[in-house]
Structure 1
Amino acid sequence: MTFSNLANGYAVRSPFWVEFGIQGMGVMPAGNKKEKTGHHHLLIDTPLPPGVSDPLPFSETHRHFGKGQTGTVLELPPGQHTLRLLFADYAHRPYFVFSPEIKVNVGGKRDATPAPQINAAQFDATCRAWYQDEMTTPPRPGKAVYVKNIRDGEVLGSPFLVKLGVMGFGVAPAGSVVKDAGYFVLNVSRNGIPVTSVSLKNGETEAVLDLASGDYDLAVEFLGVDGGRLLKEELPIAVVRKSQKRR
């Protein structure tokens, strides 16, 4: 598990955006039993639970995302705080799957603290502060599907990881009996010709693509559990090399 937009030592203004990432398991809203699926929990200023047999409590330090969310807006008081992601099953019992603990420094209220500005005389430090604030700025309310870690027109080496997020819906495997939820599909084309399609039908939120060098269009669709399209987003990418395979 990882924080897709946060790293240890980040300076943020409150409220701030937190994105969840997980590989190798699918997301499924709480109360729905399915093998190798679960939902995200955020531990705030609290250690990992001592065991995995008891459900996680509901509290300010144990935040549950039982609707299958892939991110949240978090509001914390000024000061240093610790954060850790923990994945748990349909009954809120934790898997042995969690992120490293990170520390974030909350500087103050977003509406009362000026945003960092880049200063040419102190470029490295001010650019770093600006970037951290930019990455944690809450998105506008609404429904959207998006790629967390790739920018429009970005040049990539292959294979590469695609991290996906959705707002306004939860994630759930195809065919689930769950309201307001769905799953991701990645469609890759080149010059308008389909190249490959990856359907994350088990509720996965990350996928690895391996493409030959060239320019591509990456279309991200979010389909309802019944297979109907709910959302779509497109972005061009450029793949410039193939990584050597490890022996």
Structure 2
Amino acid sequence: MRRFAVGVGALAVFAGQLAWSQTPANTTRTLHPWQAPMPAGNSEAYFTNLKSGDRIETPYVLKFGLSGGWGLAPISKPMAGKSGHHHLLVNRDLPLDFKAALPFNEQYIHFGKGQMETVLTLAPGTYTLRMLLADDKHLPHFVYSKPLKVTITKKNAVDPKSLVKPGLALTLSEGEQKPPFRVQFHASGLNVGHAAQQEKDTGHFKLTITSKTGAVAEMDFAEGQTEAWLAPPAGNYTLKLDFVDNLNPQQVLTGPVTATVKVKP
């Protein structure tokens, strides 16, 4: 299925009707009527811009996603429940012992600040890559991706840091949508975490949905989630994604992105 990611755009949307709030971690979440429950048995970490068999050049910005209602949380302040941080496994199978902490080396790359991407700098060759989520003690969750094999054809003389700039992306399937449909969030150069952690330099996603009739729904993903399933009534909508500061919910850490979508009956 083809997908597209929209860039930065400006849209002033003031929350009005149909307000939504999310309860603290480890309690029952209240979903807005326009939000669908996560599909059962669909908890996984995954790559959003790489598939098995791809041939790429490095440096390459590799992006991650997380499904099943799981959220990202920096390791500096422990969070229980459905939370963790990403790990990239290079030429490694899943661990045999999920009760042992993951090692720190070039084959187990940790993203303990709540990152959603990394810049691959691997030398030319064929590699097997896999994503794995783990808690603040680096103990794996049963949340991981299928392995994929990629071939790096060339390593270019490019500064990896020059490829990452703070910003957001909002991704959904192309064309008209039939509920429920998935919307994926991405933050570049930014760290995602639970609002309850009150961690400096982290934020969480906030999605505002506005219909042509003026109805507004706000969805605050304060537990570090990076995607949502939506089921609004048939009609035309504007989606606006913000990244809210976890220390100051009135402040955003980068500009918003927007997309328009037509929902079929």
Same fold (TM over 0.5): yes
Match of 1:92 among 135, 138, 158: 138
Contact between 1:86 and 1:94, CA under 8 Å: does it hold in 2? yes
Q: What is the aligned partner in structure 1 of residue 114 from structure 2?
A: 68
Judged with a 3 Å threshold, the aligned counterparts in structure 2 of structure 1 residues 68 and 19 are, in CA distance, closer, same or farther, namely same
Contact between 1:212 and 1:239, CA under 8 Å: does it hold in 2? no
Q: What is the aligned partner in structure 2 of residue 119 from structure 1?
A: none
Counterpart check, 1:27 vs 2:48:
no
Deviation at residue 155 of structure 1 after TM alignment: 3.6
Judged with a 3 Å threshold, the aligned counterparts in structure 2 of structure 1 residues 75 and 212 are, in CA distance, closer, same or farther, namely same
Give the secondary structure class of the aligned counterpart of 1:175. Answer: helix
Q: What is the aligned partner in structure 1 of residue 225 from structure 2?
A: 204
Aligned residues with identical type, % of pairs: 33
Match of 2:164 among 117, 138, 141: 141
Q: What is the aligned partner in structure 2 of residue 125 from structure 1?
A: none
Q: What is the aligned partner in structure 2 of residue 10 from structure 1?
A: 54
Contact between 1:216 and 1:238, CA under 8 Å: does it hold in 2? yes
Deviation at residue 187 of structure 1 after TM alignment: 0.2
Cα deviation 1:4-43 (Å, max 9, x = unaligned): 1111111111111211111121100113211121100000
Greater relative CO (CA pairs within 8 A, separation 6+): 2
Equivalent-residue separation in structure 1 for 2:187 and 2:173 (angstroms): 15
Equivalent-residue separation in structure 2 for 1:160 and 1:139 (angstroms): 34
Counterpart check, 1:230 vs 2:253:
yes
Cα deviation 1:90-149 (Å, max 9, x = unaligned): 11111111110000111112459xxxxxxxxxxxxxxxxxxxxxxxx9984321122144
Judged with a 3 Å threshold, the aligned counterparts in structure 2 of structure 1 residues 187 and 139 are, in CA distance, closer, same or farther, namely farther
Cα deviation 1:169-218 (Å, max 9, x = unaligned): 21111131312101001001123824312111111111111123332211
Q: What is the aligned partner in structure 1 of residue 205 from structure 2?
A: 184
Equivalent-residue separation in structure 1 for 2:254 and 2:215 (angstroms): 19
Judged with a 3 Å threshold, the aligned counterparts in structure 2 of structure 1 residues 37 and 146 are, in CA distance, closer, same or farther, namely same
Q: Which runs of 5+ in 1 are unaligned?
A: 113-136, 243-247
Contact between 1:158 and 1:239, CA under 8 Å: does it hold in 2? no
Output aligned runs, 1:92-111, within 5 Å. Answer: 92-110=138-156
Q: What is the aligned partner in structure 2 of residue 220 from structure 1?
A: 241
Judged with a 3 Å threshold, the aligned counterparts in structure 2 of structure 1 residues 150 and 231 are, in CA distance, closer, same or farther, namely farther
Counterpart check, 1:40 vs 2:86:
yes
Equivalent-residue separation in structure 2 for 1:234 and 1:87 (angstroms): 27
Match of 2:264 among 238, 241, 245: 241
Output aligned runs, 1:115-194, within 5 Å. Answer: 140-149=163-172, 154-191=175-212, 193-194=214-215
The range that moved more, 215-224 or 186-195, is 186-195
**AA partner of residue 203 (structure 2):** G
Give the secondary structure class of the aligned counterpart of 1:47. Answer: coil
Contact between 2:134 and 2:140, CA under 8 Å: does it hold in 1? yes
Give the secondary structure class of the aligned counterpart of 2:264. Answer: strand
Equivalences, count: 216
Q: Which runs of 5+ in 2 are unaligned?
A: 1-44
Q: What is the aligned partner in structure 2 of residue 133 from structure 1?
A: none
Equivalent-residue separation in structure 2 for 1:33 and 1:41 (angstroms): 17
- What TM-score does the superposition give when structure 2 sets the normalisation length? 0.75
